[in-house]
């Protein structure tokens, strides 16, 4: 089945709306994947329309009358209203549809201009309205029933605003009488929730026209002229040129450039006037006209343009000289995109001369490897040769790299193999159209393709060896994904193994390319077909082991029954009655799938034909695990054949439970609150912003009470996860029975921000009724406040996420909370910044109960807490800020001082050999994770000393602490053999220019390992987003010295270079992970059997530089033992 044949596909339901804008300002770390750096040389795309003006274009077709916005159309829709939808299907105007804005409140000038052409617009929009609970008005998602509240769009940012001079930025403050400002630093952060939602807007007058079509008879050329005019009125930021055929007076020889490529925004009127003046006569010299186009693209002497200039003159702007005529080559840059769009209604006629001249083009014969055009059909023989020539041979050798011209072809009322081949051989696409709507859709499809911007890894999951908990199993589970400019990003989970200190594939061969730090192209994963699938995200892996849709176990939490396998929680066609259309984000509009079709698609049927193949049986599709780290849990089996389940989450909204041996999915779970996103993933529209689902880490909780490596008896297995940018909720599932998951709880307390903070499970004795028998609690940071997507430090306290929460593991009940508000159990006025990081929880006394916590926040603060077990919530914890290393504490912080902590403190006990004194080292690096391309901060890596190693502090002692500041720390960059005085509070290392720390550090064997990231331009291809460079640092815990053998003689000028080693991988590298592989011989016991430890950053592994037979210690963070 092909997508064009389905009436439920978005692009067939109405217009595929295109928004042409500049590079997106992405408000999270995906900007590294989607945004071209400012160092790139990006130009507007060049589009040369080659329009058939042959006599056959006078043929009359029955079609609907083209839309004319100047005419009022009667119907059910208000002509002074703008209707909206979150999916690009045409709304129905009836009493039930309250998704509209009065035209006077719709201030998006960019949309209004575009809707004057085609009646619709697609773009990111926001509405200044109260939230649904009645809070102060602020810019947020559009909501049904809010018909007079102002709506603005991102494309207007800095340009229009509400029309008041100078007020051109949507203000980020709430409760304003005028929600616009002239201060760009006070603008909302576009791209962060809720300012990342793409909407389809429709003029009510257009909807009336569409719902009450008038059939007319029009000449084909008039249809083409009307549609091209409408489309060109609706787009911007492109260069457009026009070619036509000469006709009979020109001897039916080729065609001229009647409008040189020029900026559409400044030259729109003249371009539209030329289109309106086109008339039809003569033959169809397709190849000859394409030959003339090739001469123009290359800036060569004109052929037909000079020979027939007396009939239809060439645009003088297209010429460099007139006698003789030589074309002025269009402005082509190393990063520009160049396109032909050929529209014709017939086969080549009077089209034989190109075969004489085409082979004479520069590099034609050497580049294509032939001396003449291919084929035996004389008419139009060279058309596909010429499009191949333009699409594969550099048209401008003066630029670095290769510049090509891609050709798209449109068969208007004709299906032609030569048109299809001519497009595809150049890298373009072939389309069919025969009337106003289909031609409009095709041209908008093409424009969307032209303006679209086209392998990353999370940290690997390695199961702890349940039979020897100081070791890891040798199986490695990797999550991979591929970014794209659409809602759905493909993802997968692949299995490899450790052997002899390296990652190997199914054939025992090295799976990692040392030159890239990523999987090798030739690697064969364990769950594949036996063919190489290493660097192809969608090949092999768990995505291709998904069960058949009819037998797949897919659940949601659809009511009070916590047993997810209960009938009411099943996402099955037979249970469709338990869901509404709105549950799936559907409205029942034309072109949408039915509930049954949506459910079948969610189960894996290829209803939407995402892979465009003849089968709709399965789609073998998984979403991206962008930030989510999977968890691999051993349920039993033997050490030789463990029973492992891998839990992996994706931004499509699925939690997958995968058999660790076969890769087959056991079941999957979509939280009810994410079901509403599913329609967006179904239609998979273009999107400049990432769409999020389950993006938090999967945190396993395994209670193997007798430590026998088997989950049985009173043992239990839970998994916890947040949504990160996908929402504010924290989830806990009981997966003790790996085939029968239960929902323990899902909570989102009022103080929660986006649930970034990975939960920590520990034991705390709280004097409170109802605490579970294990005294097991969940400690979690308040989360992330998107206000920090703006680079300036907020002038007011964060509205959400500024706290720490302690929940009952079994019930999710909040037991204790720290925050700045009066309702907190521990009220700390300094806790005004959100905490998206994992809380470091430790057991200092070794009694099995947590008694210390450390945290870091978005203001650059470090906090410490002491837990007094056995006390009530009001007296349970004392704590406070112990260090201010960023904007907090400064009266007017600069951007350079606005250091944020997206990482958790790395807590370890170190020894200062000079002082012969132990201290707790709090190691942490700063970096603006939400904008990794931003280089405005002066980022540093810190090691702050907490001298109170085992002693607890009272609240009075915390209140009297002298807070450590940046100035209190000893600078060690450019230094070596630094000696800290007893009064020194620690050290700091100023990162090299543009480097920042975007992942946690790890202290091992008195050495601190961390990664510095630099968002340097992509020197290999400056037209593509740079993945940046990563540098591994290894420094001494006590003074930041490089860990090298020649330390005694090392010159300080060389110290910084010795501290770091560049990694091969690009992208934001994850934190270092230290692994202790199991012996190759499972029967071998004793210290001599244990392989040496391995450290990995992603899949780039290295010897950490020490031998170690690990032993279990009492200081633990994870688990409840």
What is the rounded CA–CA span in Å between residue 950 and residue 937?
35
Residue 46 falls inside a structural domain: yes
What residue has token string 């055009």?
373
How many independent structural domains does the chain possess? 3
pLDDT band at 1080 (very low <50, low <70, confident <90, very high): low
Residue 830 falls inside a structural domain: no
- What local confidence, expressed as pLDDT, does residue 40 receive? 37
What is the rounded CA–CA span in Å between residue 780 and residue 793?
24
Residue 925 falls inside a structural domain: no
974, two tokens: 């450019």
Residue 397 falls inside a structural domain: yes
Cβ-based neighbour number of residue 1079 at 10 Å: 17
pLDDT digits (tens, 9 = 90+) for 298-318: 999 999 888 777 788 999 999
pLDDT digits (tens, 9 = 90+) for 788-847: 988 888 888 999 999 999 999 999 999 999 999 999 999 999 999 999 999 999 999 999
pLDDT digits (tens, 9 = 90+) for 61-94: 999 888 889 999 999 999 999 999 887 778 888 8
In angstroms, how far apart are the furthest CA atoms of the chain?
Answer: 100
pLDDT band at 20 (very low <50, low <70, confident <90, very high): very low
pLDDT digits (tens, 9 = 90+) for 317-330: 999 988 789 999 99
- DSSP one-letter string for 546-569: PPPGGG--EE---SS--BTTSGGG
pLDDT above 70 covers a percentage of the chain that reads 90
pLDDT band at 467 (very low <50, low <70, confident <90, very high): very low
- Under DSSP, is residue 823 helix (H, G, I), strand (E, B) or coil? coil
- What local confidence, expressed as pLDDT, does residue 1114 receive? 44
Cβ atoms of 933 and 31 closer than 8 Å: yes
**Residue 533: alpha-carbon gap to chain centroid:** 23
Residue 501 falls inside a structural domain: yes
- Under DSSP, is residue 699 helix (H, G, I), strand (E, B) or coil? strand
1024: buried, middle or exposed (CB in 10 Å: 19+, 13-18, 0-12)? middle
1047: buried, middle or exposed (CB in 10 Å: 19+, 13-18, 0-12)? middle
- What local confidence, expressed as pLDDT, does residue 8 receive? 23
pLDDT band at 548 (very low <50, low <70, confident <90, very high): very high
Domain co-membership, 190 together with 246: no
pLDDT digits (tens, 9 = 90+) for 719-756: 999 999 999 999 999 999 999 999 999 999 999 999 99
Peptide bond preceding 421: is omega within 30 degrees of 0, i.e. cis? no
User: Pairing mode, if any, of strands 986-990 and 1002-1004?
Assistant: unpaired
- DSSP one-letter string for 847-879: SSS--EEEEE-TTSEEEEEEE-TTS-GGGSEEE
pLDDT band at 24 (very low <50, low <70, confident <90, very high): very low
CA distances (Å), 734 to each of 651, 663, 697, in order? 21, 21, 16
Domain co-membership, 115 together with 200: yes
- Under DSSP, is residue 215 helix (H, G, I), strand (E, B) or coil? strand
Give this prediction's pTM: 0.82
- What local confidence, expressed as pLDDT, does residue 616 receive? 62
pLDDT digits (tens, 9 = 90+) for 866-900: 999 999 999 999 999 999 999 999 988 999 999 99
Q: Residue 235: which CATH number?
A: 3.40.50.410
What is the rounded CA–CA span in Å between residue 1017 and residue 327?
34
- Under DSSP, is residue 91 helix (H, G, I), strand (E, B) or coil? coil
SS3 content of the chain, % helix, strand, coil (to 5): 20, 25, 55
Residue 677 falls inside a structural domain: yes
What is the rounded CA–CA span in Å between residue 374 and residue 1035?
64
Min mean pLDDT across 32-41, 132-141, 343-352 is at 32-41
Q: Calculate the average pLDDT of the chain.
A: 88
Domain final residue pick, 397, 414, 444: 444
963, two tokens: 């807070």
Domain final residue pick, 174, 191, 211: 211
Cβ-based neighbour number of residue 479 at 10 Å: 28
Assess whether pLDDT exceeds 90 at residue 973.
yes
- Owning domain of residue 548: 455-748
Assess whether pLDDT exceeds 60 at residue 646.
yes
- What local confidence, expressed as pLDDT, does residue 425 receive? 95
pLDDT band at 39 (very low <50, low <70, confident <90, very high): very low
Cβ atoms of 490 and 540 closer than 8 Å: no
Segment 497-507 shows an average pLDDT of: 89
| Higher pLDDT among residues 875 and 377, named by residue | 875
What is the rounded CA–CA span in Å between residue 462 and residue 273?
65
Assess whether pLDDT exceeds 60 at residue 454.
no
Residue 825 falls inside a structural domain: no
The helix (run of H) or strand (run of E) holding residue 405 is: none
Q: Which among 799, 665, 777, 769 has a CA at the least distance from the CA of 718?
A: 777
C-alpha dihedral, 543 to 544 to 545 to 546, nearest 10°: 60
Domain co-membership, 149 together with 109: yes
Assess whether pLDDT exceeds 80 at residue 4.
no
Cβ-based neighbour number of residue 703 at 10 Å: 18
Min mean pLDDT across 235-244, 282-291, 398-407, 673-682 is at 398-407
pLDDT band at 37 (very low <50, low <70, confident <90, very high): very low
Domain co-membership, 616 together with 664: yes
Domain co-membership, 431 together with 463: no
What is the rounded CA–CA span in Å between residue 1115 and residue 1112?
9
Cβ atoms of 386 and 377 closer than 8 Å: no
Cβ-based neighbour number of residue 209 at 10 Å: 25
| Higher pLDDT among residues 866 and 232, named by residue | 866
Domain co-membership, 421 together with 500: no
CA geometry: angle at 952 spanning 949 and 958, to 5°? 105
pLDDT band at 22 (very low <50, low <70, confident <90, very high): very low
Q: Which among 284, 273, 232, 242 has a CA at the least distance from the CA of 440?
A: 232
pLDDT above 90 covers a percentage of the chain that reads 61
- What local confidence, expressed as pLDDT, does residue 528 receive? 87
356, two tokens: 């004489």
Domain co-membership, 549 together with 658: yes
**Residue 870: alpha-carbon gap to chain centroid:** 45
Domain co-membership, 420 together with 525: no
74: buried, middle or exposed (CB in 10 Å: 19+, 13-18, 0-12)? exposed
Range list of H helices, 120-245: 204-211, 220-234
The DSSP secondary-structure symbol of 831 reads: -
pLDDT band at 472 (very low <50, low <70, confident <90, very high): low
Min mean pLDDT across 130-134, 155-159, 535-539, 1013-1017 is at 130-134
Peptide bond preceding 194: is omega within 30 degrees of 0, i.e. cis? yes
pLDDT digits (tens, 9 = 90+) for 413-446: 888 889 999 999 999 999 998 888 888 888 888 8
What is the rounded CA–CA span in Å between residue 582 and residue 86?
12
Domain co-membership, 417 together with 515: no
What is the rounded CA–CA span in Å between residue 181 and residue 168?
6
Assess whether pLDDT exceeds 70 at residue 698.
yes
- What local confidence, expressed as pLDDT, does residue 251 receive? 76
Cβ within 8 Å of residue 696, ≥6 positions away: 627, 628, 649, 721, 722, 723, 724, 726, 755, 756, 758
Assess whether pLDDT exceeds 70 at residue 6.
no
Give me the count of residues in the chain: 1121
| Higher pLDDT among residues 986 and 465, named by residue | 986
Residue 1054 falls inside a structural domain: no
**Residue 11: alpha-carbon gap to chain centroid:** 23
pLDDT digits (tens, 9 = 90+) for 184-194: 888 888 887 78
Domain co-membership, 179 together with 264: no
What is the rounded CA–CA span in Å between residue 546 and residue 460?
21
45, two tokens: 């795309």
Segment 592-603 shows an average pLDDT of: 95
What is the rounded CA–CA span in Å between residue 804 and residue 786?
18
Assess whether pLDDT exceeds 50 at residue 18.
no
The DSSP secondary-structure symbol of 743 reads: E
Domain final residue pick, 411, 444, 477: 444
Min mean pLDDT across 58-72, 520-534, 983-997, 1067-1081 is at 1067-1081
pLDDT band at 175 (very low <50, low <70, confident <90, very high): confident
Assess whether pLDDT exceeds 80 at residue 636.
yes
What is the rounded CA–CA span in Å between residue 127 and residue 142?
5
C-alpha dihedral, 990 to 993 to 998 to 1000, nearest 10°: -30
Domain co-membership, 196 together with 93: yes
Domain co-membership, 94 together with 182: yes
């Amino acid at each position: 089945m092909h997508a064009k044949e389905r009436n439920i596909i978005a692009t067939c339901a109405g217009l595929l709306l295109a928004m042409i804008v500049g590079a997106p300002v992405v408000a999270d770390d995906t900007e590294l994947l989607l945004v071209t750096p400012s160092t790139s040389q990006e130009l507007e795309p060049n589009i040369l329309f080659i329009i058939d003006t042959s006599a056959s274009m006078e043929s009359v077709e029955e079609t609907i009358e083209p839309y004319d916005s100047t005419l009022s159309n009667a119907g059910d829709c208000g002509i002074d209203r703008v209707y909206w939808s979150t999916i690009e299907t045409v709304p129905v105007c009836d009493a039930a549809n309250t998704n509209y804005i009065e035209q006077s409140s719709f201030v998006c000038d960019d949309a209004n201009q575009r809707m004057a052409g085609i009646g619709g617009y697609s773009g990111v929009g926001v509405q200044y309205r109260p939230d649904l609970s009645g809070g102060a008005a602020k810019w947020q998602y559009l909501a049904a029933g809010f018909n007079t509240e102002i709506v603005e769009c991102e494309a207007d940012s800095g340009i229009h605003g509400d029309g008041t001079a100078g007020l051109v930025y949507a203000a980020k403050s709430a409760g304003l009488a005028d929600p616009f400002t002239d201060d760009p630093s006070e603008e909302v952060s576009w791209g962060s929730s809720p300012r990342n939602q793409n909407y389809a807007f429709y003029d009510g007058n257009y909807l009336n026209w569409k719902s009450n079509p008038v059939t007319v008879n029009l000449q084909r050329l008039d249809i083409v002229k009307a549609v091209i005019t409408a489309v060109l009125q609706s787009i911007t930021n492109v260069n457009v040129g026009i070619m036509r055929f000469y006709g009979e007076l020109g001897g039916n020889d080729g065609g001229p450039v009647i409008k040189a490529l020029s900026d559409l925004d400044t030259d729109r009127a003249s371009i539209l006037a030329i289109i309106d003046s086109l008339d039809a006569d003569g033959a169809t010299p397709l190849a000859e006209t394409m030959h003339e186009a090739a001469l123009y693209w290359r800036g060569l002497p004109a052929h037909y343009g000079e020979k027939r200039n007396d009939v239809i003159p060439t645009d003088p702007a297209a010429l460099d000289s007139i006698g003789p005529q030589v074309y002025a080559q269009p402005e082509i840059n190393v990063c520009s995109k160049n396109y032909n769009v050929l529209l014709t209604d017939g086969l080549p006629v009077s089209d034989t001369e190109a075969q004489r001249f085409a082979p004479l083009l520069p590099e034609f014969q050497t580049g294509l490897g032939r001396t003449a055009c291919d084929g035996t059909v004389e008419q139009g023989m060279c058309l596909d040769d010429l499009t191949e020539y333009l699409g594969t041979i550099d048209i401008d050798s003066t630029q670095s790299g290769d510049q090509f011209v891609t050709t798209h072809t449109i068969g208007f009322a004709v299906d032609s193999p030569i048109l299809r081949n001519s497009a595809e051989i150049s890298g373009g696409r072939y389309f069919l159209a025969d009337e106003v709507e289909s031609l409009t859709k095709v041209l908008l499809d093409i424009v969307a393709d032209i303006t679209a911007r086209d392998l990353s890894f999370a940290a690997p999951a390695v199961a702890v060896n349940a039979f020897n908990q100081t070791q890891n199993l040798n199986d490695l589970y990797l999550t991979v994904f591929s970014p794209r400019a659409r809602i759905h990003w493909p993802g997968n989970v692949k299995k490899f193994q450790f052997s002899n200190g390296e990652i190997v594939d199914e054939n025992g061969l090295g799976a990692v390319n040392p030159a890239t730090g990523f999987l090798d192209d030739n690697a064969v994963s364990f769950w594949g077909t036996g063919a190489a699938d290493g660097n192809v995200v969608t090949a092999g892996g768990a995505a291709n082991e998904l069960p058949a849709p009819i037998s797949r176990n897919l659940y949601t939490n659809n009511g009070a029954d916590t047993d997810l396998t209960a009938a009411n929680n099943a996402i099955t066609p037979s249970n469709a009655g338990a869901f509404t259309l709105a549950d799936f984000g559907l409205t029942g509009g034309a072109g949408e799938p039915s509930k049954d079709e949506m459910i079948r698609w969610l189960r894996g049927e290829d209803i939407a034909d995402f892979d465009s193949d003849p089968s709709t049986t399965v789609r073998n599709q998984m979403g991206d695990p962008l930030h989510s780290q999977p968890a691999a849990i051993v349920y039993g089996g033997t050490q030789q054949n463990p029973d492992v389940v891998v839990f992996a989450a994706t931004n499509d909204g699925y939690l997958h439970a995968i058999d660790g041996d076969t890769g087959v999915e056991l079941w999957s779970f979509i939280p009810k609150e994410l079901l509403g996103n599913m329609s967006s993933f179904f239609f998979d529209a273009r999107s400049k912003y990432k769409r999020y689902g389950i993006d938090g880490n999967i945190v396993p909780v395994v209670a193997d009470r007798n430590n026998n490596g088997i989950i049985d008896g009173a043992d239990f297995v839970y998994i916890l996860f947040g949504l990160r940018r996908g929402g504010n909720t924290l989830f806990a599932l009981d997966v003790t029975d790996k085939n029968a998951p239960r929902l323990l709880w899902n909570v989102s307390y009022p103080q929660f921000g986006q649930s970034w903070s990975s939960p920590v499970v520990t034991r705390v004795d709280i004097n409170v009724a109802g605490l579970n028998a294990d005294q097991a609690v969940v400690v979690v940071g308040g989360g992330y406040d998107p206000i920090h997507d703006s680079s300036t430090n907020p002038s007011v306290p964060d509205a959400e996420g500024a706290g720490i929460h302690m929940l009952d593991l079994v019930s999710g009940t909040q037991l204790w909370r720290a925050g700045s508000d009066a309702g907190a159990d521990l009220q700390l006025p300094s806790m005004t910044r959100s905490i998206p990081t994992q809380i470091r929880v430790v057991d200092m006394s070794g009694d099995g109960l947590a008694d210390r916590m450390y945290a870091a926040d978005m203001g650059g603060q470090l906090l410490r807490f002491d837990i007094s077990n056995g006390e009530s919530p009001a007296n349970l914890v004392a704590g406070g800020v112990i260090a201010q290393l960023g904007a907090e504490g400064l009266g007017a912080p600069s951007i350079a001082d606005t250091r944020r902590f997206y990482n958790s403190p790395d807590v370890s006990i170190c020894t200062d050999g000079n002082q012969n004194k132990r201290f707790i080292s709090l190691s942490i690096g700063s970096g603006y994770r939400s904008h990794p391309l931003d280089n405005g901060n002066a980022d540093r890596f810190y090691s702050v000393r907490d001298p109170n190693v085992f002693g607890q502090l009272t609240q009075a002692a915390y209140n009297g602490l002298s807070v450590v500041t940046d100035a209190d720390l000893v600078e060690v960059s450019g230094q070596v053999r630094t000696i800290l005085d007893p009064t020194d509070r620690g050290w700091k290392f100023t990162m090299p220019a543009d480097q920042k720390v975007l992942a946690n550090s790890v202290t091992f064997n008195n050495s601190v390992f961390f990664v510095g990231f630099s968002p340097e331009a992509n020197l290999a291809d400056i037209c593509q987003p740079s993945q940046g460079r990563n540098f591994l640092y290894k420094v001494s815990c006590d003074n930041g010295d490089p860990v090298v053998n020649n330390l005694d003689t090392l010159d300080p000028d060389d110290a910084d270079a010795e501290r770091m080693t560049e990694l091969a991988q690009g992208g934001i590298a994850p934190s270092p992970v230290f692994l202790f592989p199991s012996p190759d011989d499972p029967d071998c016991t004793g210290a001599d059997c244990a392989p040496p430890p391995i450290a990995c950053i992603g899949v780039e592994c290295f010897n950490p530089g020490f031998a170690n037979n690990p032993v279990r210690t009492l200081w633990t963070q994870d688990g409840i033992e």
